[in-house]
Amino acid sequence: LSVCVCVCVAARMIGFVARTLSRSFATKKAPMKVAVTGAAGNIGYAILPRIASGQLLGLDQPVELQLLERTEGLKALKGVEMELQDGAFPLLKKITCTDDVETAFGDVDYALLIGSKPRGPGMERADLLKDNGKIFVGQGRALNSFAKRTVKVVVVGNPANTNCLVAAMNAPNPDPRNFSALTRLDHNRALAQIALKTGCSVDAVTDFAIWGNHSPTMYPDVTHAKINGKRAADMLDKECLVKSFILTIQQRGKAIIDARDSSSAFS
């Protein structure tokens, strides 16, 4: 409970600072329309105040939020809308809550596809493909029909890279280069583990890469990684690297589910 309280307090403090800064920026820019699916879920709840405060598009960029939820989630989404209103974000010009994809994706500049079937205990990411594939076929088609052709899309719902491909293949009008899968989490997990195992700061690690799918087959590659300009591989125990480090990154999502009885949201 104390951890949750600390996270909530930290998020509110970040939002307060961003709101204060954004008030100091006078702007005449036209609002950008940002669609967020699964907006009443844990990840949506965590990210929406950051978008509204200017942390996504800049402290001088007004935004309109177009929030999509399943019909049964609209009541919870109403609560999220009330909290966004209560936040009094100067950059937030309009909030639309809907269960209709045409309304949610209509003329949007950015789309964050967060909503998907969550991963539960004992599930691998491959288990999610059957149900989530259908979701992203539909959302890809909706983006193709209703969003701006210049729309930039970030897919968060897992398996993110596969869902991103499915959405992009069903949206031939936007440039496929405008579709991205948010697998930065795997990268960040690896940076944190390197820092923990070597006693360095996270920002001391450079030139690290991950390869492959967002799944247990993903490979965290330290071949070219450096710590303060020196080869990271020389500072990591070889046996630890093979038996612990790689496996930890590949199975981190499962470990969090086992610990929380819920998938990761804040990270």
Identify the bridge partners of residue 110 per DSSP, sorted by sequence position: 34, 152
What residues form DSSP beta bridges with 231? 226
User: SS3 for 238?
Assistant: helix
Q: List 219's β-bridge partners, or say none.
A: 211
Beta carbons of 70 and 41 less than 8 angstroms apart: no
Of 145, 148, 181, 182, which Cα lies nearest the Cα of 164?
181
- The closest alpha carbon to 39, from 81, 87, 90, belongs to 81
Annotated catalytic residue within 214, 225, 232, 253: 214
Q: In whole angstroms, how far apart are CA 223 and each of 83, 207, 250? A: 46, 9, 17
Active site residue 214: yes
| CA 144/CA 14 separation, integer angstroms | 35
Q: What residues are labeled active site?
A: 214
